[in-house]
Amino acid sequence: KAGVTQTPRYLIKTRGQQVTLSCSPISGHRSVSWYQQTPGQGLQFLFEYFSETQRNKGNFPGRFSGRQFSNSRSEMNVSTLELGDSALYLCASSLALGQLDGYTFGSGTRLTVV
């Protein structure tokens, strides 16, 4: 079965712009989580969506937002980009809330802010 698909794979944006990243979970998976990965901070939780509702949110500013559609696909948006937003953004899906069965991650979107 198809894995978690993230688009685009690479993105270069200018400071102050906004960006939208997309994530299509594994068929049947209803929970989608987003993580930011940087060399200095490692993987940090952004938010989790389940049944089109944000269920959990990490400690990121309001410039980071997301949504989930009825088909479980999710998007995350970052507005007013800063240089420090450069990172690998990973999406992970799971069957339901709670991670006892583990996540399946996508390959990520590499965002570079210049």
* Contact residues for another protein, defined by CB under 8 A: 4, 33, 35, 42-45, 48, 55-56, 59, 90, 92, 97-108
Compare residues 43 and 79 and give the one whose CB is closer to another protein.
43
Nearest-CA neighbor of 19 among 112, 94, 97?
Answer: 112
Compare residues 2 and 14 and give the one whose CB is closer to another protein.
2
Q: How far is the CB of 75 from another protein (least distance, A)?
A: 17
Which residues lie closer than 8 Å to 93 by C-beta, 6 or more apart? Answer: 4, 23, 25, 26, 29, 31, 32, 33, 72, 103, 104
Q: How far is the CB of 16 from another protein (least distance, A)?
A: 28
